[in-house]
Each structure stands twice: as C-alpha cells, then as structure tokens.
Amino acid sequence: MGYVTQEEYLMLSGIQHFAFCPRQWALIHLENVWQDNVLTYSGQKLHQQADDPSYQETRQHIYVSRAVPVRSDRLKLYGTADVVEYHRGEKGVVLKGKTGLWQPLPVEYKHGQKKINDWDRLQLCAQGMCLEETFNIPVAEGHLFYGKTRRREMVTLSSLLRQKTIETANAMYDCFEKGRLPAPEYKKACDNCSLYQHCMPKLAKRQSVAKYLQTLMD
C-alpha cells in the first residue's frame, strides 16, 4: 500500500461492501451511487439504535460506549464502531473516570443473520485492529450482533482473519487509486442488492455506469 495522507483514508465500513462485491463498493465510493431497499433500510434502523454517541452504560463489570470513532494508520481506514464494550479485568486500559483496567471488545450490529463467509468478520476485525492501534494493547476477539436472530457471534481475530483484512484493505486502495469500476459479475446475491438497477450485473461490459447511461442519451 503506497503512502497516503489521512484525508485519503477510506471508510472502514466499505471493507464489508468490497469483500461482498468490489463493483458494489466502487459504485458507492467511486461513482456516488446509492439506493435503499428493505434490507438496507432495516440495517439503518438497527444501527440507529446502536449509534448514539451520547449513550454510555455501565453494568456490573462492563462499560458500554456507542458510536466510537476509530482509525488505523496501518490499514489507512477510518470509521465508527457501533459499540465498544470495555470489560474490567486484570489487563486492559485506563479509562477516564473509571477505576481499574478495561479490555476493549468491538461489537458490530448487522440486520441479518450469521453468515458462512467472512464479509462481516472482516469489518469487525478492522475495528479490532483500529482499537489495538488506539490503545496499544491486543484485541483478541469481537462480537457480531445479528438483528434477525437477536444473537451474538463471537469472532476470534486470528492471524488468518487479520491477513485477509489487510489484503482486502490493500485491494480497496488499489481499486480506489485506479478509479475504475470493476466489471459486472452476476451471482444470485445480486438479485437482493439495492444497486441492481444501477449495476446491471448481467451486462458483460467493462465500462462505468456513467458512460453506459450516456450512451442511452446519445
């Protein structure tokens, strides 16, 4: 990954979009295309419940902070962690106004259910790596909370997952620097994508949506 300024850092949440579909990510971040559907709307509603930066809570030995700004100079990503839980224990960091040591644990909210692929886990891992840089302590795990099942998945931030996170972040930057829209590649998941009409995945043409729409107007 080449040198970039902090102003050129990419959004951390984009790593999940890029892992799912590089073309979807490019439509959003290179061509500023976005369209809500029932899936994206339900996801936004779930995040509204979590992303209240003024909300803080202490219960037993857990301190909860919401909408926590995070950044990684290594990944060149910035964003917001839905929830960071600080668990009091023998190891951790010192928090202002709190006694003892507190171990940070990122919690990412998703509207669906647990997935076989690592798309959501990559985003969570990136958050964990951001927290490691911020506090200079290891963050070994994080949690994914799925709104459909109302259950958590504990995710170990393994060396393999970290490497995949780094590789995905590098690929994002490569795509960003080239400024080109990846070619469409139709798959079943495309049918539920809110950008289906903009993406036109069944068209095997290596051109941007903007250029394609221009041809319709000519």
Pairing mode, strands 101-110 and 141-146: parallel
Q: What is the pLDDT of residue 172?
A: 96
- Cα end-to-end span (Å), the chain: 40
12 has a pLDDT exceeding 70: yes
Q: Which two tokens stand for residue 143?
A: 């949690």
Domains annotated on the chain, with CATH: 6-217 (3.90.320)
Of the pLDDT bands very low, low, confident and very high (cuts 50, 70, 90), residue 58 is confident
pLDDT single digits (tens) 93-126: 999 999 999 999 999 999 888 989 999 999 999 9
pLDDT single digits (tens) 128-182: 999 999 999 999 999 999 998 999 999 999 999 999 999 999 999 999 999 988 8
> pTM of this prediction?
0.81
Interval 40-58 mean pLDDT: 55
* Arithmetic mean of pLDDT over the chain: 85
Can you tell me the distance from the alpha carbon of 28 to that of 32, in angstroms, rounded to the nearest whole number? 5
Q: By CB neighbour count within 10 A (0-12 exposed, 13-18 middle, 19+ buried), where does 215 fall?
A: exposed
